Amino acid sequence: MIFDTHAHVNFRAFDKDRDEVIKKCLDRGVSIINVGSNFETSKIAVNLANRYKNVYASVGLHPIHVDTSILRVKDEDEGIGEEPDFNYDAYKELAKDNKVIAIGEIGLDYYCRPKTKTKLAEFKSKQKEVLIKQIKLAEELDLPIIFHCRMAHDGLIEFLKQKNLKGVIHCFTGDLKQAKEYLDMGYYLGFNGIIFKLDLNEVIKETPTDRILLETDCPYLTPPEYITDRNDPIGVEYVAKRIAEIKNMDLNELIGKTNENAIKVFKLDRKE
Ligand SMILES: [Zn+2]
């Protein structure tokens, strides 16, 4: 068994064959956490989790879908745009489901940003405001958090230092210093197919095995050796293989340890 701790089989890219993909993964022993990026995709993730054993859901509003009235986001694979506001009560209702194991993905994303100073400040403060609301929800429901962070690590680190939260920094792409800061605060680091694009070898070597989570972020970030038009949770096997090589350790030992990490941080042993 192996866990893909960050998948999006809930996205539009899987509309035509979602159930086939999930069955194929489960038959192969790949367990899946489908991560929501807004209310719609969170709802689909929860529905899927309730239909399959070894499939779990995370619910949350991704920072790129926070409506700042400044930038418009549209992704054909994901299929939706911004939400007018974070509806705390609606997300809370959804997150109370027994198969919801985390709040996420939530965080800060300054990759696409407005150009003027005033608009940039407004944009950043709106993302932060929605992040704070979702952290409150995670605390209220005692759930760990799946953080998404792009071009904003130093800001997120400073912010998290004032908190005492549990969770993972998914798709970690920061530097070694930032990795250590997250690890010191007790967070896990999630690695996916981006390790084939960016040089994260040093970070991976220095991250203790008991703090690594394996993921795909499918349909995105297909590992080069996985010959497919669209990444899916099976891609996690290639990520595992590469990380075992970088850490110079036995593949099955790496999978076993990272499975334990997933079970521990998301309390999966308490779920059906
Ligand atoms: Zn994601």
Give the CA distances from residue 88 to residues 31, 144, 179, in Å, rounded to whole numbers and listed in that order. Answer: 29, 17, 30
Give which of 8, 12, 218 is closest to 104, Cα–Cα.
Answer: 8
pLDDT in tens, 203-219: 999 999 999 999 999 99
Give CATH for domain 2-270: 3.20.20.140
pLDDT in tens, 176-191: 999 999 999 999 999 9
Rounded to the nearest integer, the mean pLDDT of the chain is 94
Return the sign of the alpha-carbon dihedral for residues 270, 2, 57, 184: positive
What was the pLDDT predicted at 229? 93
Give which of 128, 198, 174 is closest to 189, Cα–Cα.
Answer: 174
Ligand 1 centre distance from Cα of residue 169 (Å): 11
Distance CA 245, CA 235 (A): 16
Ligand 1 centre distance from Cα of residue 62 (Å): 8
Distance CA 62, CA 271 (A): 25
Query: Does the pLDDT at position 73 exceed 90?
Result: no
Ligand 1 centre distance from Cα of residue 114 (Å): 22
What was the pLDDT predicted at 84? 73
What was the pLDDT predicted at 56? 98
Query: Does the pLDDT at position 36 exceed 80?
Result: yes
pLDDT band at 69; cut points 50, 70, 90: low
Q: What is the mean pLDDT of residues 43-64?
A: 96
pLDDT in tens, 88-102: 999 999 999 999 999
Ligand 1 centre distance from Cα of residue 35 (Å): 6
Give the CA distances from residue 41 to residues 45, 69, 80, 83, in Å, rounded to whole numbers and listed in that order. Answer: 6, 21, 9, 12
Ligand 1 centre distance from Cα of residue 27 (Å): 23
3-state secondary structure 131-191: HHHHHHHHHHHCCCEEEEEECCHHHHHHHHHCCCCCEEECCCCCCHHHHHHHHHCCCEEEE
Three-state DSSP at 68 gives coil
What was the pLDDT predicted at 62? 92
Ligand 1 centre distance from Cα of residue 217 (Å): 5
Ligand 1 centre distance from Cα of residue 9 (Å): 10
Domain ranges of the chain: 2-270
Neighbour count for residue 219 (Cβ, 10 Å) = 22
Ligand 1 centre distance from Cα of residue 162 (Å): 25
Ligand 1 centre distance from Cα of residue 76 (Å): 14
Q: In degrees rounded to 5, what are phi and psi of residue 6?
A: -155, 90
Structure tokens given for 255: 């999978």
Structure tokens given for 32: 């899946």
What was the pLDDT predicted at 113? 86
Q: What is the mean pLDDT of residues 151-170?
A: 96
Distance CA 115, CA 67 (A): 17
Task: Report percent pLDDT > 90 for the chain.
Answer: 85
Which of 76 and 160 is assigned the larger pLDDT? 160
pLDDT band at 20; cut points 50, 70, 90: very high
Helices (H), ranges, the chain: 18-27, 39-51, 88-95, 117-141, 153-161, 176-184, 201-206, 236-246, 251-265
Q: What is the mean pLDDT of residues 130-145?
A: 97
What was the pLDDT predicted at 119? 87
Going by their DSSP bridges, the two strands 2-7 and 167-169 should be labelled as: unpaired
pLDDT band at 272; cut points 50, 70, 90: low
Query: Does the pLDDT at position 72 exceed 70?
Result: no
Contacts of 170 (CB under 8 A, 6+ apart): 5, 6, 35, 104, 105, 146, 147, 148, 190, 192, 213, 215, 217
Which of 83 and 136 is assigned the larger pLDDT? 136
